[in-house]
Structure 1
Amino acid sequence: MEASTGPASPERQPSHKVVSALLATMDDLSARKAAPRPRQDDPQQNMRMLSRLAQESPNVVLRLDAAGTVLYSNPAGARFLAACGAVEGHGVPAPWAELARETCEFGMVRSEEMEVGDALYDVTLAPVPEDGYVNVYAADITRRRRAENAAREAGEKLLRSLEQTIAMVSRAVEKRDPSTSGHQLRVAAIAVAIGREMGLAPQRIEGLRLGATIHDIGKLHTPAELLTKPGKLMALEIELIRQHPLTGYEIVKDVDFPWPVAQMVLQHHERMDGTGYPHGLKGEEILLESRILAVADVVDGLSTHRPYRPALGLETALQEIERMRGRWLDAQAVDACLRLFRERGFQLPA
Structure 2
Amino acid sequence: MKKIVYYISEYGFGHATRSIAIIRKLISMFPNIQIEIVNEYAHQFIKESLPYRNISFYKYSTDIGYSLKEESVQPDLAKQESELRKYLKNIPGMVALEKKRLEHENIDLIISDISPVAFEVANQLGVISVGITNFTWYTAFQKLVPQELVEQLRSYYEKMDYFFKLAGCNEPEWSRIFAHQFGFYSREINMDEANYIRRSVGLKNQVVFVGLGMKVDLHELQQYRLWRNPNTHYIVSSNINITLPNVTKIPKDYQETQNYIAACDLVITKAGWGTVSEAVIAGTPLLIIKRDGFTEDDNTIHYLVKHNLAQTISWYDFQKLSNLQIPKRNNSIKRSSLSEIVESIIRLL
TM-score tier, shorter chain, comes to: under 0.3
* Structure with a larger share of its residues in strand: 2
Bigger radius of gyration among the two: 1
* Structure with a larger share of its residues in helix: 1
Relative contact order (alpha carbons < 8 A, sep ≥ 6): 1 or 2 greater? Answer: 2
